C-alpha cells in the first residue's frame, strides 16, 4: 500500500480552493507532497521559490498540514512522481468544465507511467469558482482578495502588482 500522494499544480498563487483540496488529501494519505510545477518557458507572477514559500506560510501551524511537504519540479510530472516513489496524483475538479482537461492529463500521465494513478477531489462548494488566474486579475485591479486567498498571499500579490 502506497501512502504518499503528490498534489501537483502551478499554484501561481495558492488559493483557498487549493488549500481545501490539500486538507482533504492530507486526511486521505499518510504523506502528501505539494509539488509546484516550474516551467522555464512559462514564467508566472511568482517564481517557484516564492510559490513554495507562500504555500509553506499558509500551512504553518495547521494541525492537518503536519504530514505535508512542499517542493517544486521542472519537466514531466510523472518523472517527479517516480523519483519520489509516489503512486498517486491528486487533482482538484471544481466543475465539469475542468474535467476534459483533467481527464486528458490523467490519461497522458497514465500512458507515460501506468503505475501512477490520478484521483480527483472536489472542493467545498464555496470554492468551486476560485481560480489562480481570476485571483491575479482581481489583484491587478487592486480589489479585495480576502475571500479568495490567505492574507500572506494577498500581501504578496499586492506587492507584485504595485511594482
Residue 75 or residue 142: which is nearer to ligand PNS going by CB? 75
61 vs 133, which CB is nearer to ligand PNS?
Answer: 133
- Specify whether the CB–CB gap between 72 and 99 falls below 8 A: no
Burial 18-48 (b: 16+ CB within 10 A, else e): bbbbbbbbbeebeebbbbbbbeeeeebbbeb
Per CB under 6 A, 15 contacts ligand PNS: no
Binding test (CB under 6 A) with ligand PNS, winner from 21, 22, 33, 37: 37
Alpha carbons 79 and 11: distance in angstroms, whole number: 19
Within a 10 A sphere around the Cβ of 5, how many other Cβ atoms? 22
Closest among 98, 109, 110 to 75, alpha carbons compared:
109
Question: Which residues from 51-110 bind ligand PNS, rule CB under 6 A?
Answer: 76-77, 105, 108-109
Q: Which of 8, 17, 44, 150 binds ligand PNS (CB under 6 A)?
A: 8
Nearest distance, CB of residue 153 and ligand PNS, angstroms: 15
Nearer to ligand PNS, 41 or 144 (CB): 41
Report the interface residues with ligand PNS, using CB under 6 A: 8-10, 37, 76-77, 105, 108-109
Amino acid at each position: 500500500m502506497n501512502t504518499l500522494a503528490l498534489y501537483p499544480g502551478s499554484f501561481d498563487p495558492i488559493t483557498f480552493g487549493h488549500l481545501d483540496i490539500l486538507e482533504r488529501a492530507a486526511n486521505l494519505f499518510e504523506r502528501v507532497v505539494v509539488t509546484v510545477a516550474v516551467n522555464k518557458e512559462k514564467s508566472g507572477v511568482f517564481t517557484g521559490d516564492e510559490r513554495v514559500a507562500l504555500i509553506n506560510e499558509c500551512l504553518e501551524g495547521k494541525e492537518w498540514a503536519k504530514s505535508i511537504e512542499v517542493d517544486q519540479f521542472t519537466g514531466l510530472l510523472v518523472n517527479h512522481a517516480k523519483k519520489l516513489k509516489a503512486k498517486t496524483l491528486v487533482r482538484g475538479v471544481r466543475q465539469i468544465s475542468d474535467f476534459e482537461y483533467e481527464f486528458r492529463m490523467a490519461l497522458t500521465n497514465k500512458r507515460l507511467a501506468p503505475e501512477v494513478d490520478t484521483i480527483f477531489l472536489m472542493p467545498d462548494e464555496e470554492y468551486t469558482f476560485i481560480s489562480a488566474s481570476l485571483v491575479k486579475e482581481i489583484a491587478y485591479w487592486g480589489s479585495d482578495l480576502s475571500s479568495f486567498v490567505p492574507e500572506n498571499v494577498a500581501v504578496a500579490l499586492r506587492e507584485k502588482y504595485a511594482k
